């Protein structure tokens, strides 16, 4: 028996090496990933793809733009995707309606859609009785505008649904509205034309309003069966965020590639927004969902009785972020 020991050990070694080789050489998990919008908010996905972070984490990710968040959720529920880049009202509406699309990580935890106004308007209080454009009712721009009015004590302003960011900017330039919620790159154009930024990212941060403006969404039914895939996706996304912070040159190239923009001023503005707003850890504050549900109930965009029956924990799952945190991932990432 003892004389066979070296052979047995060698056999075990080959078995272990063989198993490791199969794992190392196994095909990456294929993931279809719809996202919105085409702006700096989507940089974590673009960077994770182009800088090889998805590939390094064993993921073959097919990124594709899908306009409205509601359309993304419907596509997920139809089985077309198990992950997506989105957050906000569409997640709440889906869960209250019985869907299983939830939030598993936050990448932007502050409102970032600035409010621009006519040059003669110098403070938010002057918007009382005025028209203000948002992209769509129930959108992040709409929720952000409501929070601005609440913080500033404005009543009597009329919110207008423009249909999209370009339309909101056009409404402001034409004089049809007194103010509009307009993110980059259109915000840069407005500023250069003399329109005033009434509320920007800095003000939102000072207000410290609990919110998840963008993040990683997933089907609960999928991640319960494939927790390791969810964890690797989050890891890759935050490795992408680290690269955004550390490599401006590469980030500007990727911004130009995906937004089809070559204007240096617009690219610089977008980069500034990204490093001001992208979070360095993905934990989702429960109070952000509590506040959002309350606002949606008050707007009558979700059923109040159904919302009351739905626990706040039904909208998100912090377990993967928590596991990564316990493993020291985020700490090591930013050392």
pLDDT tens digit sequence for 125-184:
999 999 999 998 878 899 899 999 999 999 999 999 998 888 999 999 999 999 999 988
Indicate the SS3 state at residue 330.
helix
Question: To 10 degrees, the CA torsion angle through 76, 256, 234, 72?
Answer: -10
Assigned fold of 115-207: D-Maltodextrin-Binding Protein; domain 2 (3.40.190)
Average pLDDT over residues 193-216: 92
Assigned fold of 34-110+216-333: D-Maltodextrin-Binding Protein; domain 2 (3.40.190)
Q: Where are the domains of the chain?
A: 34-110+216-333, 115-207
**Band (11; pLDDT cuts 50, 70, 90):** very low
Query: For the range 267-274, what are the long-range contacts, defined as Cβ-Cβ under 8 Å and sequence gap of 24 or more?
Result: 269/184, 269/185, 269/187, 269/188, 270/39, 270/40, 270/184, 270/185, 271/40, 273/40, 273/112, 273/183, 273/184, 273/201, 274/40, 274/43, 274/244
pLDDT in the model for residue 25:
56
34-110+216-333 and 115-207: same fold? yes
Average pLDDT over residues 77-105: 95
Structure tokens at 88: 């906000």
pLDDT in the model for residue 136:
85
Length of the chain: 335
Average pLDDT over residues 218-247: 98
CB atoms within 10 A of CB 192: 9
In this model, does residue 196 exceed pLDDT 80? Answer: yes
Give 41-82 pLDDT, tens digit per residue. Answer: 999 999 999 999 999 999 999 999 987 788 899 999 999 999
């Amino acid at each position: 028996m003892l004389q066979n020991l070296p052979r047995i050990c060698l056999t075990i070694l080959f078995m272990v090496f063989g198993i490791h080789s199969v794992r190392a050489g196994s095909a990456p998990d294929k993931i279809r990933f719809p996202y919105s919008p085409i702006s700096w908010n989507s940089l974590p996905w673009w960077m994770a793809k182009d800088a090889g972070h998805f590939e390094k984490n064993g993921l073959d990710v097919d990124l594709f733009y899908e306009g409205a968040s509601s359309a993304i959720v419907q596509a997920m529920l139809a089985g077309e995707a198990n992950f997506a880049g989105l957050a906000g009202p569409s997640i709440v509406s889906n869960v209250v309606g019985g869907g299983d699309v939830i939030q598993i990580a936050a990448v932007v935890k502050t409102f970032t859609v600035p409010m621009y106004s006519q040059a003669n308007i110098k403070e938010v209080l002057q918007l009382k009785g005025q028209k203000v454009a948002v992209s769509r009712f129930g959108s992040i721009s709409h929720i952000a505008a409501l929070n601005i009015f609440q913080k500033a004590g404005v009543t009597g302003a009329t919110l207008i649904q423009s249909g999209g960011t370009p339309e909101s900017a056009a409404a402001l330039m034409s004089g049809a509205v007194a103010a509009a919620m307009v993110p980059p790159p259109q915000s840069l154009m407005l500023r250069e034309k003399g329109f005033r930024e009434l509320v920007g990212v800095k003000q939102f941060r000072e207000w410290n309003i609990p919110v998840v403006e963008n993040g990683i969404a997933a089907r609960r039914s999928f991640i319960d069966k494939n927790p390791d895939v969810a964890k690797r996706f989050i890891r890759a996304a935050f490795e992408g965020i680290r690269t955004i912070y550390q490599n401006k040159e590469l980030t500007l190239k990727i911004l130009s590639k995906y937004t089809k923009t070559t204007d240096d001023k617009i690219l610089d503005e977008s980069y500034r927004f990204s490093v001001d707003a992208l979070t360095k850890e993905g934990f989702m504050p429960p109070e952000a969902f509590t506040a959002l549900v309350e606002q949606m109930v008050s707007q009558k965009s979700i059923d109040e009785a159904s919302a009351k029956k739905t626990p706040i924990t039904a909208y998100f799952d912090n377990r993967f972020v928590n596991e990564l945190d316990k493993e020291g991932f985020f700490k090591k990432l930013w050392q």
